[in-house]
């Protein structure tokens, strides 16, 4: 499987450090928690879809069957 890496624009080190120092730790905590929750929900949905395909005899409704 070929995944593309995200390219982010480079910012100067001093600007990045200034942004980090201005960030509220509570905001970071909430952002990480929201990201983890979103990834968990996507994973649970994928697992449910695969289980349903396996229960149906591994006959996919759309496209190829993959685990």
What CA–CA distance (Å, rounded) separates 67 from 45? Answer: 13
Looking at the whole model, is its pTM more than 0.75?
no
CA distance 23 to 18: 9
For residue 38, being part of any structural domain is answered with yes
Inside any domain, residue 12:
no
The C-alpha atoms of residue 16 and residue 14 are separated, in whole angstroms, by 5
State pLDDT tens for residues 39-66.
999 999 999 988 888 887 766 556 665 6
Number of domains in the chain: 1
- Give the separation between CA 22 and CA 19, rounded to whole angstroms: 5
Per-residue pLDDT tens over the stretch 3-38: 677 777 788 888 888 887 887 878 888 888 999 999
pLDDT at 43: 96
Q: Which two tokens mark 29?
A: 């905590």
Residue 48: inside a domain: yes
Domain that holds residue 33: 24-62
């Amino acid at each position: 499987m070929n995944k593309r890496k995200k390219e982010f624009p480079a910012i100067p080190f001093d600007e990045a450090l200034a942004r980090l120092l201005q960030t509220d730790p509570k905001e970071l905590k909430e952002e990480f928690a929201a990201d983890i929750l979103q990834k968990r929900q996507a994973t649970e949905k994928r697992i449910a879809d695969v289980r349903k395909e396996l229960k149906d005899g591994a006959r996919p409704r759309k496209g190829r069957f993959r685990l």
